[in-house]
Structure 1
Amino acid sequence: MARVPPERAPRLLSPPVLGWILYDFANTIFSFVVITRYFNDWIVSERGQPDIYVGLMSAAVSIALLAALPVIGARADREGRHKPVLVVFTVTCVAMTALLGVVEPVLLALVVAGLATFAFNTADSQYHPLLAVVAPEGKRGRVSGTGVAVGYLGTLVALFALGAYVDDGEAQKAFLPAAAMLGVFALPCFFLVREKGRKSDSYVRASQRSLTLLVAGFRRARREPYGRLLLARFLYVDAIATVIQFLTVYARRTGDFDGDAIDALLALSTVAAIAGAVGAGLLAERLGPRRVILGTLVITVVTLVATAATGSSALLWVAGPFVGIALGSLSAVDRIFFLRLVPAERRGEEFGLYALVGKLSSGFGPLVLWGGTV
């Protein structure tokens, strides 16, 4: 009797997984260039505008996302197709990022940056559910952690490539090449990740139902276990987003950091984020995502409290890497935890809430914690 060969386990880096991971690479290029390094430096440090302008822009984007993300997520769930939304809004983000490289009026630049950020976050909200499409449950920790780690390699690539091209006082020059890199590295996800899809209602009827589901989703989250994770996520993303968004501005104001020193600090923090993402993804498979999240938050709180209490600019060399570890770890692990807690048939809808909570926190955190206190 012929022996039946054992079924081969799917490769970790299959073409769909590779495409999904490279999208993380593309994503962090935008996040680094527009949110962390160059946009705030351009508006606040080079153009001399108040910090609160950037905070108000972030808050306005958050309000728009509050209305849009759950509706878009519910629609994508019913169609079983998240990638079309990702493609449309990624292309929009690329176009708006390129436009930032040529606009001059500050108000117009803030509007364009807001549109780019809205498009980025909308695409991102439909990127996370694709993890369930490209990877089986037993490998999602490694795939998620690898995606975040490779994503932060995108930060390093952008940092060194743009650092060699953009001189101090010329931050606007970063946006056109950043748009090109974002578009190029997003393409594999467009072509390699495939969904089956299914028939759906008409757009009007689906939108009406989506609005109802938005209200129901918030009510449901109050009763479900993932609601507590969403509340926790709002709080810790609030703090981390504020640190990330204004780290460049704060470092310049200490008087001890020029452009090269800021790039070195960001590079060190990014390497720490890569290590955090890989390590957290592996630990989540062994210890569970909840324990990894709690441990990460404890270490981060201690570091930030110590830095704030001393007011020492030298401690930024410690705080930056620890925030990087926290960002990498939480990015890799909390989406795994959330994916585990939500029903499969509502992943897109609930990930709309997941993304929405993060984006609201990212928008209002800098406005309230930084703009309201500094």
Structure 2
Amino acid sequence: MNLNKKHIISWTLFDFANSSYSAVIAAVVFPVYYANSIVGNETGLGDLWWGRAISLSMAIVALSSPFLGGISDYGGLRKRFLFFYTALSVTAVASLSVLEKGMIVEGFALIIAANLGMEGGLVFYNSFLPRISPREYQGRVSAWGFLVGYAGSIVSLLVALPLVKAGRFEVTWLMVAVFFSLFSIPAFLFLPEDVKGDSLARAGFKGFSYTLKTLREIWSKKEPRKFLFAYLIYQDAVNTVIIFSSIFAATTLGFKPQELIALYIVVQTTALLGAFVMAKPIDLWGPKKVAIISLLMWTSVTVAAFFIQMKYQFWILASCAGLGLGTVQAATRAFYAQFIIKGREAEYFGVYSLVGKSSAIIGPLIFGLLSVNFGSQRPAILSIAIFFLTGLIILSTVKGGEPNIKKIP
């Protein structure tokens, strides 16, 4: 298989598109807006509601993604489902513009729909990777996707900055909807077309039964099982950091919205740098070694965050954290790709999504509960460090994750 530039560019551009959601809605601006302005977070209640919304949406994705992944393989509906989930997310994000103070339930429902569309679509997006890239390039193509995604985060935040400073939050959500829609178009035009398969009902039944078979198959293999268990634990920490970092900075350290955007741009820049620098090493050193290095960094960062008192300290720490963010995600995806049987990419990535999104059910709930019960977010930060360390220890025992090629020309 040769690299098709049109496939690669359109695939990475989808990361550019959906990163506007990840940055503005999931990570920086909307979490603080919802927790502090819509709910009120003086006693941690905003943390609790935000954690519930993310956990419930991730639970729905976790339960549905492996089955839908099987349907996309046997019904030939991979690109169609990607479009459906993207449209769902874009519509829900645009609808956030009608929220006002006290509309807790309405905001809760809309963010569930938006997050379901975003995260559900990633099942089908990820399943294209082995279809558009030969194995010896999968580490680099995976890293390129994250690299372009971080660029998308930076661009969307720069566009959002003047809107946020002016207090035009409703326009900010509409901007994200347009950004997400516009830059996802190349993926729908140029990624490999769906191949005609079984009817939806037949494909659904086949997808369900084959997914159960895949789950049993993976569970019977010691190394993939250990890998997924490690991934379940440390991805829980990654997701929780992404979900609550801006709320922590705003609530505990007093960051203003424009400061949060500037901080996140710095983090995305360092993450982009990390993804760029480590793209080749993922293939050359092997994804396991790169993932372990990144997890060591993350464990240290979260422990240090517990003690931080000043804004400038958080700026330094967040910049260090960014270096490991894109690296651990790209390395993990490339590591898992080595376990996949050709022709069953969507099934396997459905299970991958099931594990990843299941982790996002537990972490946000624990963070929210600890924040409410202790009246402080600092004990919740320590719980994240424990997840990182535990996942790191388990991942170090997994056999595999060797270099994809011995020598890169």
Equivalent residue runs for 1:1-374 within 5 Å: 10=2, 14-49=5-40, 50=45, 51-104=47-100, 105-167=103-165, 170-195=168-193, 197-200=195-198, 202-224=199-221, 225-310=223-308, 313-373=311-371, 374=377
Q: Which moved more, 1:361-370 or 1:166-175?
A: 166-175
Cα deviation 1:89-139 (Å, max 9, x = unaligned): 111211111111124422112101101110111111110111122222222
RMSD of the alignment, in Å?
A: 2.0
Cα deviation 1:197-226 (Å, max 9, x = unaligned): 2422x3233323433344433333322232
CA distance in 1, matches of 2:58, 2:256: 31
Query: How far did 1:169 drift?
Result: 5.0
- Mark the CA change 1:239 to 1:313 in structure 2 (over 3 Å): closer, same or farther: farther
Query: How far did 1:309 drift?
Result: 4.0
CA distance in 2, matches of 1:371, 1:217: 34
CA distance in 2, matches of 1:310, 1:155: 26
The alignment-based identity, stated in percent, is 26
Indicate the SS of the match to 1:371: helix
Contact 1:38 1:174 in 2 (8 A): no
Contact 2:58 2:357 in 1 (8 A): yes
Normalising by structure 1, we get a TM-score of: 0.91
Query: How far did 1:44 drift?
Result: 1.1
Contact 1:297 1:326 in 2 (8 A): yes
CA distance in 1, matches of 2:367, 2:252: 18
Contact 1:22 1:185 in 2 (8 A): yes
Indicate the SS of the match to 1:307: helix
CA distance in 1, matches of 2:73, 2:39: 44
Name stretches of at least 5 consecutive residues in structure 2 with no aligned partner. 372-376, 378-409
Contact 1:42 1:172 in 2 (8 A): no
Query: How far did 1:289 drift?
Result: 0.6
Query: How far did 1:170 drift?
Result: 4.5
CA distance in 2, matches of 1:109, 1:222: 38
- Mark the CA change 1:370 to 1:318 in structure 2 (over 3 Å): closer, same or farther: farther
Indicate the SS of the match to 1:197: coil
Query: How far did 1:255 drift?
Result: 4.0
Query: How far did 1:192 drift?
Result: 0.9
Indicate the SS of the match to 2:344: helix
CA distance in 1, matches of 2:366, 2:207: 30
